[in-house]
Structure 1
Amino acid sequence: MRPPLRAVAILATAAALITGCSSGDDWSRPHPRPSAIGSLGPGFVDPSARPAPESTVTPRPGSWNGVHPSKDYRVVLLTAGDDHPTKALVTAVEEWADDEHVDLRTVVADVHDPVAGITKALELSPDLVVSAGNDLIDPLALVTANHLSQHFLVVGAELAEPTYNVTAVDWSGASFRGEGLGMSSTYDPGSFTAERCAAAIRAGVAAVLHDLTGIVIWLD
């Protein structure tokens, strides 16, 4: 006996929903190690001398443009605050993820309890946690050293003493370092332009994908 047409339609709809939840959507499933597609251009770093931990490198503008993440790169955007610089960084990360077909999830941390947001990001076990917002800098300094297997990328700021799993992208108009050091005298919210924020996420990811971590990438 053939099932009623309504039942067939319901089953078909359910099957479509299950199919839509691909392995790229379910982060609990095994995931290949991400890799870089493309190479860093001349001038990103000196190929004859690997940057020392916590050092600052100033890559040639655009030397990161040829690098792209492999398929289904899992990224958590960890953000806190609603100021202009943070919003600009968030927009840049979202646009980059859309352009590169990155599997992006966002965790908005409470500025009054940012460690809870960081913990939530860690629980997702992404390939990379991208941090946007100065309110996250001091809490990240407390947490990241205890999770050395997790890569972090800080855009528009930096940790004062990063471990090798924390990479930062900064410039003179940003350069917030936390730990009671106060805001840099050169801090300029207007320097967080769409172009600079886009360069920050692309340059930072290019470095991480090439295992150039634990350093500060300076965009000036």
Structure 2
Amino acid sequence: MPVPARLAAIALAALVTVAVVGCAASGPHPATTAIGTPAAGFAPLSAPSPEATVNPISGSWDGVRPSPGYRIVLLSGGDDPTSAALSDAVHAWADEVDADLRTVSAEDDAIGGIVEAMDLEPELIVSVDDGLIDALAMVTPNHLEVPFLILGAELAEPTYNVTAVDWTGAGFRGEGLGTATHFDAESFTPERCADAIRAGTTAVLTGMTGVVLWID
């Protein structure tokens, strides 16, 4: 079976699984709220259009954090250096803001890993691995109620529940599409990875979703 057809078949099975599991889900959890507001220059003066690229001013996201207990799932597909750098930044940020962080590895089964992450009923799923992009492109449009944040990569046509953070040296968009800029593993510095999770969660918490944040 061709790869796209096989992925589609796996995705369909995964969607059925999620629907069945959802019927037995636990009761609602208190919703997380944003503490603080972004500084001027974080968001454009008018609401960005879907799939737009937004260029927030550096540091404009620093004044925002989630209320304690923000339920996050960190989704990774391996332990390559760039994914590890982003994972470290997410863990450090979660400790700082007292988030409820769970981790899911999708190294052997991208779609299965995404389903496992959704089964945990988080308020946000954070993806830190380029290898998950094609699977995310298939799953996310069918689960608009689940917010996703992609760090260091993006979907070519994101729905409003998918937000991404990119920079010069990052921006993978999927097989056959390449990257928005020349890939540079050295651009995944601890400082930039920390900015990525802060900027991305600020956008999600303040409702600026379905866009690509471009930071430098």
Q: Normalization by structure 1: what TM-score?
A: 0.84
Deviates more, 1:38-47 or 1:210-219: 38-47
**Residue deviations 1:73-132, cap 9 Å, x none?**
00000011221110000000000000000000000112x421000000011110000001
Match of 1:142 among 138, 151, 154: 138
**Residue deviations 1:136-180, cap 9 Å, x none?**
101000000000000000001101110000000001200100041
1:127 aligned to 2:123? yes
2-side partners of 1:39 and 1:147: how far apart? 28
User: Which amino acid in 1 is paired with 2:159?
Assistant: T
Partner of 1:99: 96
Identical residues among aligned pairs (%): 57
Secondary structure in structure 2 of the residue aligned to 1:90: helix
2-side partners of 1:183 and 1:43: how far apart? 26
1:53 aligned to 2:55? no
Structure 1 segments unaligned to the other structure (5+ residues): 1-26
1:42 aligned to 2:37? no
Alignment of 1:1-220 (within 5 A): 28-47=26-45, 49-110=46-107, 112-183=108-179, 186-220=182-216
Secondary structure in structure 1 of the residue aligned to 2:30: coil
**Rg bigger for which structure?**
1
1-side partners of 2:96 and 2:156: how far apart? 31
User: Which amino acid in 2 is paired with 1:32?
Assistant: P
2-side partners of 1:194 and 1:138: how far apart? 26
1-side partners of 2:215 and 2:135: how far apart? 24
Q: Report if the CA contact (8 A) 1:80-1:135 is conserved.
A: yes
State the Cα RMSD in Å: 1.3
Q: Report if the CA contact (8 A) 2:153-2:165 is conserved.
A: yes
2-side partners of 1:184 and 1:204: how far apart? 18
**What stretches of structure 1 move > 2 A for 4+ residues in a row?**
27-30, 182-185
User: Which amino acid in 2 is paired with 1:191?
Assistant: S
Q: Report if the CA contact (8 A) 1:130-1:152 is conserved.
A: yes
Q: Report if the CA contact (8 A) 2:168-2:181 is conserved.
A: no
Q: CA deviation at 1:29?
A: 4.9
User: Which amino acid in 2 is paired with 1:147?
Assistant: H
2-side partners of 1:121 and 1:212: how far apart? 22
